[in-house]
Amino acid sequence: MARMSGGAALVTALAAHGVDTVFGIPGTHNLEVYRHLAGHGLRHVGTRHEQGAGYAADGYARTTGKPGVAIVTSGPALLNAAAAVGQAYSDSVPVLVVSPGLPLRHPAFGNGLLHETKDQGAALAAIAAASIRPTSVAEIPRAVAQAFVTMTAGRPRPVHLEVPLDVLGETAEVCSIPGPPPAAMRAAAPAAQVVAAAQRLADASRPVLLAGGGARDAAEQVCRIAERLGAPVVTTTNGKGVLPEDHALALGAGAHLPAVRDLVLESDVVLVVGSELAPSDFWHGPPPLDSKAVRIDIDPVAMLTNAVPAAQLVGDAAATVTALLQALPESASPVAGSTERAAFWRDRKRKDARLEGAEWLPVVDALASALPPDTVIAADSAMVCYYGALANLPAYRAGSFLYPTGYGTLGFGLPAAIGAKVADPRRPVVALLGDGGLMFTIAELATAAEFGAPLPIVVVDNRGYGEIRNEMRDRGDPVQAVTFQPPDLTAMARAFGCEGSSVADPAELSTAVRAAFDVDRPTVIHVRHNDPATATEGAHP
């Protein structure tokens, strides 16, 4: 038992749960938290905007597999971070956002207190897994433990922890600071269901495996069962790299491509591991899977979303795939010609991907020739990313392609790259952005510069919001408010303390990226993209 303030109890509990790094911005109402960070060994990475803090915590979480933590102040600061919370929820990423809240006895109709917000907890509860509000100092350690359980037991999700302003400053006896609770049992699906599904897989002559973000911690098991069945492996965006894309059975990411739909139609069984089969992955609607899908998911609700499979296996991905491998009959072996079949469909899919991404291939191919195999690519919601890099830039490790898939936020790439670099300073990290998305979080160049590590930031400039410009033109609408002249990005980079270079020809990009890995600070590489559509603003197509 020890007497401590609410801020001390909070930081002590975070440290007990293994938190050693937090992202955020200090403010008037969270200073009682900040005063205790250094004393408990918590490193603070100061961002320039709370949205950047949330995205950096997200990138940290995706890279380490541990929850990322952002500390912000109340009201506008917390709401600034809300977009990042929504993105983490959409992509199943464990992010903890900690903020102060209004005092316990604050007047019901308010009194004009600084940062006063009617119900910020309700606002965050609408987009996070939960908003937890302890009401005493003694309750804070338990609330932190509950937050970690909520984030990590079952499907990962973000959580908001709101400590009332007066509780942060109060002192009280705290009986214990619980560390991490016992790890949730990562149980396989029920044995009878596993046996039935294993027989279905063993009987298949044209199996396919679809790996989503929920398979990131089951990469070894996915590889083993794919090889045992002889099944080509397609991944969703968040599953990219679960099977290294140079594997003989790997088709890579790009589940929306026509070849993938044709492959599913040709197959007789599709093993789906950890994917909600979302429209944001398939773009044109999921292929008809119901009658042939064997689906593994830790979330029973997701199991019934977008497709109702023939076999439902609710359980941990790694444990359930391991159980399937054990339940397969000894006679089960890779189907004849499996590598040839995979090669055929890989070639079909590659042609689709390169046709779709043709406009962006010079950039993507230049990156592919320059990046080490273990590089983390932090991508933004930009055309060069979802048309170009997603299906054409190879990935060799799970969790090495960070992308804001479902929520589709702009400005994710740069702070997510910072979070990934903080998580593992020795690993190469590259941010890939459009000029429009960069402007959402460009202030984080200052954060990146302070970190003092090599970080190529590749900005492909098509003078605005190219996707929306195309949609306006396709609808027959006036093209408006989507084209703008970018600032001098190389000069801006240097003003923030980064290096800056401009690439007129994408063929020069490989050299620029390699050079950026050899300096002691981030480098903004401005790639000019000539899009004739930029000349049409203000006119009907």
pLDDT per residue as tens digits for the range 463-502: 999 999 999 999 999 999 999 987 899 999 999 999 999 9
Please tell me the predicted confidence (pLDDT) of residue 459.
97
Is residue 461 a contact partner of residue 534, using CB atoms and an 8 Å limit? Answer: no
Between CA 404 and CA 107 the distance in angstroms is 39
Whether 185 maps to a domain, the answer reads no
Residue 113 has pLDDT above 50, yes or no: yes
Considering the domain boundaries, does residue 182 fall inside one? Answer: no
Percent of the chain with pLDDT over 90: 89
Strands 171-174 and 2-5: antiparallel
DSSP string, 236-296: -STTTTSS-TTSTTEEEE-TTSHHHHHHHHH-SEEEEES----HHHHSS---S-TTTEEEE
Q: What is the pLDDT of residue 540?
A: 41
In a domain, 541, yes or no: no
Is residue 173 exposed (0-12), middle (13-18) or buried (19+ Cβ within 10 Å)? Answer: exposed
Q: Provide the CATH number for the domain around residue 334.
A: 3.40.50.1220
Give, in order, the Cα–Cα distances in Å from 128 to each of 69, 83, 331: 14, 10, 46
Judge if 363 and 503 occupy the same domain.
yes
Mean local confidence (pLDDT), 97-111: 96
Six token digits for residue 225: 């069962």
For residues 101-120, give the mean pLDDT. Answer: 95
Written as six digits, the tokens of 333 are 């072996």
Q: What is the pLDDT of residues 20-73, one digit of tens each?
A: 999 999 999 999 999 999 999 999 999 999 999 999 999 999 999 999 999 999
pLDDT over threshold 80, residue 412: yes
**pLDDT on residue 537:** 62
User: Which pLDDT value is given to residue 487?
Assistant: 87
Domain span at 373: 357-536
Residues 324, 234: one domain? yes
Q: What is the mean pLDDT of residues 165-174?
A: 96
SS3 content of the chain, % helix, strand, coil (to 5): 40, 20, 40
Mean pLDDT of 175-181: 74
Residues 485 and 529 in one domain: yes
Residue 186 located in a structural domain:
no
| CA atoms within 13 Å, Cβ hemisphere of 299 | 17
Q: Say yes or no: 112 and 210 in one domain.
A: no
Domain count, the chain: 3
The verdict on 217 and 261 lying in the same domain is yes
Span 290-303, pLDDT tens digits: 889 999 999 999 88
The answer to whether residues 250 and 159 belong to one domain is no
In this structure, the answer to whether residues 195 and 169 fall within a common structural domain is: no
Residue 223, SS3 per DSSP? helix
pLDDT band at residue 458 under the 50/70/90 scheme? very high
Residue 248 lies in a domain: yes
Per the structure block, which two tokens stand in for 427?
């690993």
Q: Using an 8 Å Cβ cutoff, are 409 and 84 in contact?
A: yes
Reported as a pLDDT band with limits 50, 70 and 90, residue 541 is: very low
Question: 162 with 208, same domain?
Answer: no
Strands 207-211, 233-235: pairing is: parallel
Q: How far is CA 421 from the centre of its chain?
A: 14
- Asked whether residue 176 carries a pLDDT value surpassing 80, the answer given is no
Amino acid 184: pLDDT:
60
State the amino acid at position 530 in one-letter form: N
Q: Do 335 and 268 reside in the same domain of the chain?
A: yes
Q: Report which of residues 27 and 533 the model is more confident about.
A: 27
In this structure, is residue 231 part of a structural domain? yes
Q: Pick the last residue of a domain from 322, 352, 382.
A: 352
Stronger pLDDT, 333 or 322, i.e. the higher one:
322
Average pLDDT in the 133-137 region? 97
Last residue of a domain, one of 106, 139, 174: 174
Burial of residue 539, with CB atoms counted within 10 A of its CB: 0-12 exposed, 13-18 middle, 19 or more buried:
exposed
C-alpha span between 275 and 303 (Å, rounded): 9
Q: Provide the sign of the torsion angle of the four alpha carbons 344, 393, 68, 164, taken in this order.
A: negative
- For residue 523, what is the DSSP state? E
Those residues whose C-beta lies under 8 Å from the C-beta of residue 470, and which sit 6 or more positions away, are: 533
Q: Is the pLDDT of residue 137 over 90?
A: yes
Residue 539 has pLDDT above 50, yes or no: no
154 and 66 both lie in a single domain: yes
Average the pLDDT over each of 202-206, 255-259, 285-289 and give the range with the smallest value. 285-289
CATH number for 393: 3.40.50.970
Instruction: Say whether pLDDT at 104 is over 60.
Output: yes
Q: What angle do CA 84, 217, 381 make, to 5 degrees?
A: 35
| Alpha helices (runs of H) in 383-519, residue ranges in sequence order | 383, 390-392, 413-423, 435-438, 444-451, 466-475, 489-495, 509-516
* pLDDT (mean) for 432-441: 96
pLDDT score at 473: 96
- 159 forms bridges with which residues in the sheet? 96, 130
Which of 139, 174, 209 finishes a domain?
A: 174
CB 189 within 8 A of CB 300: no
278 and 129 together in one domain: no
pLDDT tier for residue 507 given thresholds of 50, 70 and 90: confident
Q: Give the percent of the chain with pLDDT over 70.
A: 97
Whether 42 is in a domain gets the answer: yes
**Average pLDDT taken over every residue of the chain:** 94
Residue 243 and residue 333 share a domain = yes
Sheet holding 293-297, edge to edge: 250-253, 233-235, 207-211, 269-273, 293-297, 311-314
Written in H, E and C, the secondary structure of 497-516 is CCEEEEECCHHHHHHHHHHH
pLDDT value of residue 331: 76
Whether 179 maps to a domain, the answer reads no
Lowest mean pLDDT among 103-117, 321-335, 522-536: 522-536
